Every structure is written in structure tokens, then in C-alpha cells.
Amino acid sequence: MQTINFTNNSGLNYPLPVELTSFNAAIRNGLVDLKWETATEVNNYGFEVERKSTNADWSKIGFVEGHNSTNSPKYYSYSDKPEGTGKIAYRLKQIDNDGQFEYSPEVEVLVDNLPNGFVLEQNYPNPFNPETSIRFALKEDTKATLKVYNSLGAEIATLFDGTAEAGRYYDVKFGGSELASGFYIYKLVAGEYVSVKKMLLMK
């Protein structure tokens, strides 16, 4: 599991107030469910939940109280009912008891903007060298695979294989440092949906 460390604003080498081990967003029945987990907390007052839509700046939408200081894993959740459609981003503003604060990485969801039940975006950057990002989202919880093939149709990588949560924007990386220049195909299979796109590795 990826560990995300908050750091003090001062940049000094004090103990990290919060060690965030996960932060995820998914859509359930029109609500965006945010869930996050901490491994340790030091003087953690709590988390402000912030939201940003395509045409608006960051705004505070709620607050979740922290556990002050603890060395055991803690689990948090918050539900939001955003208005409108499109991409919506969320982040956490973790606040210490002394007023110091830091922001978490952002997570994105796609709200009611999947007319075909899914979206598979063009990789970026494209052409790429040596790494590129591929983003996809599904309207419902769906067993999905995202695989990469060479120009001859041979499978060379599996980037995702599991159940994709509804509305969650997945951002997966593909590295071509050991591959030859040329066109590659990436293919998303999710239930009855299949989408294929090309990308170009140029060294």
C-alpha cells in the first residue's frame, strides 16, 4: 500500500503529524464516499474536506475530527452530494492542534458523465518516453482489465486487473524504458464494454 506522508509547513525535521496510508473516492447512489486511513497521528486536530469542480475553486465542505495522538490505524469516511456533472476533485486539509496544516494528494471522481457506462482517456503524454499515464472510469462497480499489446497483438503488460469502483478515476502508469520505439495498443475490458486506443513510444 502506498504511504502518503504529510509534512510540517515549517519544513523542519519534526515528527510527521499524520501518516496517511490511503485516500480514495467512489460514487454510491449519487453520493461520493470518501475514505481514508492513517497509520499514526501526532497532535491531529482533524481534517477539513475540500472539493473542487471544473468551474470552481477549492471550497471547504466538511470537517472530520482526528484522534489527536495514536500509533494504531484509524479509519475515516465522509459522504458528499455534489451538484452538476463532470470531474470533481477532493483533498484533505490536515490540521494540527497548533494550527499547522498540510494538504493530502487529490482524488478525482466522474459524476454522471459516462453516457456509455465508461470512459477511457487518451494516454498522456503521447508520444511518450519513457512513461505515460492512462486514466479510466466506470459508471458502476465492474470487474475490469487494462492491458497493453504490441503492434503484433502480443500482450506485454497488465496495468489493472480487479474490480473498478463506480465513478472513481483510475490513473495508471505505463513505462516503456525496456521497449522498442513504436505504436502500442491499450485495451480496457469492463463487463460488456471494450475500448481500444493507440499510443506512441518515441525514443
Question: What is the pLDDT, as a whole number, of residue 167?
Answer: 85
Is the overall model pTM greater than 0.85, yes or no? no
pLDDT, tens digit only, all 203 positions of the chain: 334 444 444 444 444 578 899 999 988 777 899 999 999 999 999 999 999 987 788 999 999 999 999 889 999 999 998 877 788 999 999 999 989 999 999 998 888 767 677 889 999 999 999 999 999 999 888 999 999 999 999 999 999 999 998 888 899 999 999 999 999 999 999 988 899 999 999 98
20: buried, middle or exposed (CB in 10 Å: 19+, 13-18, 0-12)? buried
Q: Which domains does the chain have, with CATH numbers?
A: 4-111 (2.60.40.10), 118-201 (2.60.40.2550)
Report how far residue 91's alpha carbon sits from residue 65's, in angstroms, rounded to the nearest whole number: 15
Question: What is the pLDDT, as a whole number, of residue 113?
Answer: 66
- Cell numbers placing 86: 463532470
- Cell numbers placing 157: 503488460
Question: What is the pLDDT, as a whole number, of residue 3?
Answer: 43
- Cell numbers placing 172: 495508471
